[in-house]
């Protein structure tokens, strides 16, 4: 079963996904909670797998005793906490976002928890909306209402999607060096 960690003793921003199970063998019974701790500070790019395992003799084991074993395992699992400082390096994380070095899940998590997103996400959305608008006009999409999706709200449509790249180059013309001297 999925398991929800109940205590966040040090206000960790890391994501804790957990699973629990109980296995009963001839000699021993095992209560186990397994965690995957993701997006660990300071760079939010590491993962840690943790298992809390409780072993008890299987002889004379009743359903109530199994429940007590599982409750004890839950108690230990809920009290796990890191000893490290939970501060994140937002500037370094932002640089990774800007160079598109994250998974889609990581982008969503960083946007939701830290309100960080790639610096040019608005330009990318404008490019995609312009492409979608062209595909709708050509009758190439089954669902023409996709242009009205929430992600495209308040985003301009360009007749030529490649103008997005021209806008970005114009924004950074001085840094890139211009031939127009």
Quick one: three-class SS letters along 132-151? Answer: HHHHHHCCCCCCHHHHHCHH
pLDDT band at 179 (very low <50, low <70, confident <90, very high): low
- 70 and 125, same structural domain? no
Regarding whether 74 and 125 lie in a shared domain, the answer is no
Of 22 and 82, the structure prediction assigns the larger pLDDT to 22
Last residue in a domain, options 24, 49, 78: 78
- For residue 41, tell me if it sits in a domain: yes
For the cut 60, the answer to whether the pLDDT of residue 180 exceeds it is: no
Q: pLDDT band at residue 174, thresholds of 50, 70 and 90?
A: low
- Please check whether residue 91 lies inside any domain of the structure: no
Rounded to an integer, what distance in angstroms lies between the CA atom of residue 8 and that of residue 13? 9
Q: What is the pLDDT of residues 46-62, one digit of tens each?
A: 999 999 999 999 998 99
pLDDT in tens, 82-121: 887 778 999 999 999 999 999 999 999 999 999 999 999 9
Residue 15, C-beta contacts closer than 8 angstroms, at least 6 positions apart: 37, 38, 39, 109
Beta strands in 39-102 (DSSP E): 47-57
* pLDDT at position 115: 95
Residues 67 and 127 in one domain: no
Comparison of pLDDT for 11 and 53, the residue scoring more: 53
Considering the domain boundaries, does residue 126 fall inside one? yes
Q: Mean pLDDT in the chain? A: 90
Domain count, the chain: 2
Range of the domain at 164: 120-176
Query: How confident is residue 143, by pLDDT bands cut at 50, 70 and 90?
Result: confident
Report pLDDT for 3. Answer: 94
The verdict on residue 141 lying in a domain is yes
- Domain end among 78, 110, 128: 78
Check whether residue 135 and residue 69 sit in a common domain: no
Q: Which of 54, 78, 102 is the last residue of a domain?
A: 78
Q: Is residue 86 part of a domain?
A: no
pTM recorded for the entire structure:
0.72
Q: Is residue 89 part of a domain?
A: no
| Closest to 78 measured CA to CA, from 35, 28, 111 | 35
């Amino acid at each position: 079963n999925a398991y929800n960690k109940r205590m966040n003793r040090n206000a960790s921003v890391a994501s804790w996904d957990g699973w629990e199970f109980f296995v009963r063998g001839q000699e021993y019974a095992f209560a186990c909670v397994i965690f995957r701790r993701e997006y660990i500070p300071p760079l939010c790019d590491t993962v840690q797998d943790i298992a809390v395992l409780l072993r008890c003799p299987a002889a004379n084991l009743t359903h109530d005793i199994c429940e007590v074993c599982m409750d004890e395992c839950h108690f230990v699992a809920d009290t796990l906490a890191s000893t490290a400082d939970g501060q994140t390096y937002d500037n370094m994380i932002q640089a990774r976002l800007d160079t598109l070095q994250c998974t889609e899940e990581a982008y969503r998590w960083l946007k939701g928890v830290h309100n960080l997103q790639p610096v040019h996400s608005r330009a990318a959305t404008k490019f995609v909306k312009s492409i979608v608008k062209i595909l709708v006009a050509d009758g190439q999409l089954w669902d023409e209402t996709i242009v009205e999706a929430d992600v495209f709200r308040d985003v301009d449509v360009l007749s030529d999607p490649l103008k997005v790249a021209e806008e970005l180059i114009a924004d950074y013309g001085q840094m890139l060096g211009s031939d127009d001297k």
